[in-house]
Each structure stands twice: as structure tokens, then as C-alpha cells.
Amino acid sequence: MDGTLTRDMTSHGSEETTVMPPQHAEEDFDDLYDFLSHHDNDSLDTPCLQDGEGKKIPVPKEIFDVLIQVSEAMRQGKAVSVVPVSMTLTTSQAADMLGVSRQTLVRLLEKGRIPFERPSHHRKVRLTDLLAYKRQRQVEKHHALDEMTRMAVEDDLYEDTSADYEQVLPSVRKGE
């Protein structure tokens, strides 16, 4: 593959790797993505890497799941960055993970929505706390969507029945 690889050293000494997809990424990654996404990683047949001499090593589920995400993104022609993330994040890193501004994140911290530590002058957010907040926010969005749908059906704003919406909701949520 003709992907371009760049490496940058961050101030913390962790390495960030960005890989640009080949020009015809869809063609190059279709087979790989199809194989990875249809392979049952929970089965007894654990996926393995094999070298030229036939030596095999199992691929842990966490890495296998990342391979699926990487192949899907590159198949869509997107560049991919692999960034080691420590167990504590700066407010800028945490804001980036949530897709919000640093100021918005600081407001969430100050309101007590996300726990944080202040070992020095700077706030630090534990990755586990940030991920828990992100999951909770997703659950709240799902409940709000369910409630809005229920109310719209009760008020006869739609011709469809609540059963119609309940059938469609899972596919809508997968698209998030």
C-alpha cells in the first residue's frame, strides 16, 4: 500500500502516528474490512498474525476491534491517527475526546458533571471518568429520543404507530 506514515513526538514523549490512506482506499480496504467485521472475535477461532515462517501469535480483542475501526476509516478515504492516551488527560485532551471546546469541558468539571483532580495548578481528568461521562451522555440522548418519539405519537403528530418507531430506533442509534 502507498499510505504515508508520519510520526511526531509530543511534549510527553508519547508517539503519535498518522497514516494517510492510499488513493484508492475503498478498493484496497474492502476485503480487509469485510473479513475483520464479519469475523467473530469471541469464537474459539481466535484471529492470529502469521509471519513468513508460519509462526502465529493471537491478536487480542482490543487490538482486533481497533483494526476494524482503522480499516473502516481508511476504506472511506480518511487518515487515521494512533495516539497513546495516558490514564489521566489534560483538559485539552479531554475536550478533544468529547468533541467540545476546552472552555465547555472546564464548565462541566466545575459543575461537578465530570470528576477531576488538581495535583498542581492544572486540572487532570481520569480517562475512566471521561468515558463514563460520555456513556452517560449517550444514554441520556437515547432516553430523550425515546421520550420525544413517544410524545409525538401520543399527540398524533405522526401517522406511524409507536411500534413503527420502536422498530426503526435501533437502526437510527447504530448510525450515531
pLDDT of 57 above 70: yes
CATH number at residue 118: 1.10.1660
Q: What is the pLDDT of residue 26?
A: 64
| Per-residue pLDDT reduced to its tens digit, 100-120 | 999 999 999 999 999 999 988
Q: Is residue 52 a part of any domain in this protein?
A: yes
- Residue 133 and residue 139: Cα distance in Å, rounded? 10
Mean pLDDT of the chain: 80
- pLDDT reported for residue 112: 95
Banded pLDDT at 171 (limits 50, 70, 90)? confident
Domain that holds residue 131: 88-155
61 and 25 in a single domain? The answer is yes
Check: CB of residue 74 under 8 Å from CB of residue 80.
yes
Query: Comparing 159 with 38, which gets the higher pLDDT?
Result: 38
Position 15: which residue type?
Answer: E
Q: What is the 3-state secondary structure (H, E, C) of 85-145?
A: CCCEECHHHHHHHHCCCHHHHHHHHHCCCCCCECCCCCCEEEHHHHHHHHHHHHHHHHHHH
Contacts of 75 (CB under 8 A, 6+ apart): 25, 26, 28, 29, 30, 32, 33
Cα distance between residue 10 and residue 84, in whole Å:
10
How far does the chain reach from its first CA to its final CA, in angstroms?
Answer: 30
pTM, two decimal places = 0.48
On whether residue 164 sits in a domain, the answer given is: no
In a domain, 162, yes or no: no
Q: pLDDT at position 41, please?
A: 54
Give CA 144 to chain center in angstroms. 22
pLDDT at 1: 37
- Is 149 inside any structural domain? yes
Residue 96 pLDDT greater than 50, yes or no: yes
The per-residue pLDDT for range 25-34, each reduced to its tens digit, is: 566 678 888 8
How many structural domains compose the chain?
Answer: 2
Q: Which residue bears the cell 467540545?
A: 100
Residue 176 lies in a domain: no
Decide if pLDDT at 7 tops 50. Answer: no
If asked whether residues 67 and 99 sit together in one domain, one would say: no
Task: Say which residues have a Cβ less than 8 Å from residue 137's Cβ, sequence separation at least 6.
Answer: none
Is 59 among the domain residues? yes
- Mean pLDDT, to the nearest integer, of 13-24? 69
In a domain, 8, yes or no: no
- The pLDDT value recorded for residue 25 is 58
User: Do 114 and 73 share a domain, yes or no?
Assistant: no
The pLDDT value given to residue 3: 40
Domain shared by 71 and 128, yes or no: no
Task: Kindly state whether residues 63 and 102 are assigned to the same domain.
Answer: no
Task: Tell whether 39 is covered by a domain.
Answer: yes
